[in-house]
Structure 1
Amino acid sequence: MTDFFRRQIFNIIAAVFLALFVLVWATVLLRVGTWVPTGTAEAPELNGALVTAAGVLATSLSSLTASALGFTIAEVKRDSAAAGDTSTLVSPAQVATRLSGRVIFAIMVYMTMGMLVLVVWLFKGQASTDLIGAFALSLLGWLVGAAGVVFQTEKTGA
């Protein structure tokens, strides 16, 4: 049993982190998505711990996935240059094959939750919180950066 945990420790850490991310953001989405305006309140009240946890987890996952993509692209470029390829572009397929399953899964989780947040933000309008808006805008920025990388790495020949 101990050997299993030793071999799987990184997968366990990643799973716990991603589960926390999903749980916290699902809680935020549920509170905001089901909130009905009452009296003078313009948006639902979220406690400070939930807001802090949601912000830290969203920022962390965004940074982790973006840096993993950047490092992988740099690694592919370095290996291509070492092999004599003078092109500054790399194949997206080469980058994708070098990404670990954990990174790919983290990117999918981030984008899925982010798209749900974006939808809630767009449909709830002013009734959504600043937290929702901040994450939605962060996701859009991340997607623009990722799209830039995808289009920059595209090779047309070879």
Structure 2
Amino acid sequence: MGDFFRKQLFNIIAAVFLALFVIVWGSVLFQVWVFIPEVPGAAPRLNGAVVCAAGALSTSLSSLTASALGFTMAEVRREEQAGAGKSPGQASEGVFDAGGITTKLSGRVVTALMVYLVIGMLVLGVWLVKGTASTDLIGAFSLSLLGWIIGAAGVVFQTEKPMSQATGTA
């Protein structure tokens, strides 16, 4: 039994972290969604500990996923340059295929990305529907998510090979 935990330690840590993220943000979303303001536009009062935990978890997951993507991109770029006989300091011609990045991502990273995006989209939806009747925490995470998506989209479009390179034409 101890051997199982030793082999699965990183998966267990990742699962606990993602479960906490989902539980805390699920609680925040539920409280904001069911809140009926006595004064129009008033936001619900959330427990300070929940606000701190939600902020720390969302910031951490955003940073962790962004850095995992960045490190993976750098690794793929190094491998492509080494395969082409270039040193890591030399600029490569064009851009590289995003498929090389996605195949190198671990299952934990892919799961974290999907959890972050799904919860983030739910938060964004609640913020857009509830407007001023949501909390500043919801608004802050929504804006952070939008920034993350814009950055990720920039990477996606940057890594796409131009049509001439993909087909081998000039």
TM-score band w.r.t. shorter chain: over 0.9
Q: Does 1:21 align with 2:27?
A: no
Once the 2 structures are TM-superposed, how far is the Cα of residue 87 of structure 1 from its aligned partner? 2.4
Question: What is the DSSP-based 3-state SS (H/G/I as helix, E as strand, rest coil) of the residue aligned with 1:124?
Answer: helix
- The answer to which of 48-57 and 31-40 deviates more is 31-40
Q: In 1, are the aligned partners of 2:124 and 2:142 still within 8 Å (CA)?
A: yes
* Structure 2 spans left out of the alignment, 5+ residues: 87-91
* Structure 1 spans left out of the alignment, 5+ residues: none
**Structure 1 runs of 4+ off > 2 angstroms?**
85-88
Deviations 1:20-40 (A, max 9, x none): 000000000000000001148
CA RMSD of aligned residues (A): 1.3
Q: In 2, are the aligned partners of 1:72 and 1:98 still within 8 Å (CA)?
A: yes
Q: In 2, are the aligned partners of 1:43 and 1:126 still within 8 Å (CA)?
A: yes
- The answer to which of 45-54 and 86-95 deviates more is 86-95
Aligned to 1:102: 108
Once the two structures are aligned, what percentage of the paired residues are identical? 65
Q: In 2, are the aligned partners of 1:77 and 1:88 still within 8 Å (CA)?
A: no
Matches within 5 A, 1:60-75: 60-75=60-75
Matches within 5 A, 1:135-150: 135-150=141-156
Aligned to 2:89: none
Aligned to 2:119: 113
Question: What is the DSSP-based 3-state SS (H/G/I as helix, E as strand, rest coil) of the residue aligned with 1:38?
Answer: coil
Distance, in Å, in 1 between the alignment partners of 2:36 and 2:100 is 48
Distance, in Å, in 2 between the alignment partners of 1:15 and 1:66 is 18
TM-score (ref. length: structure 2): 0.90
Q: In 1, are the aligned partners of 2:32 and 2:135 still within 8 Å (CA)?
A: yes
TM-score (ref. length: structure 1): 0.96
Q: In 2, are the aligned partners of 1:73 and 1:90 still within 8 Å (CA)?
A: no
Q: Does 1:49 align with 2:49?
A: yes
- The answer to which of 18-27 and 30-39 deviates more is 30-39
Aligned to 1:127: 133
Aligned to 2:98: 92
Closer/same/farther in 2, CA of residues 40 and 66 from structure 1, 3 Å limit: same
Q: Which amino acid aligns with 1:56?
A: A
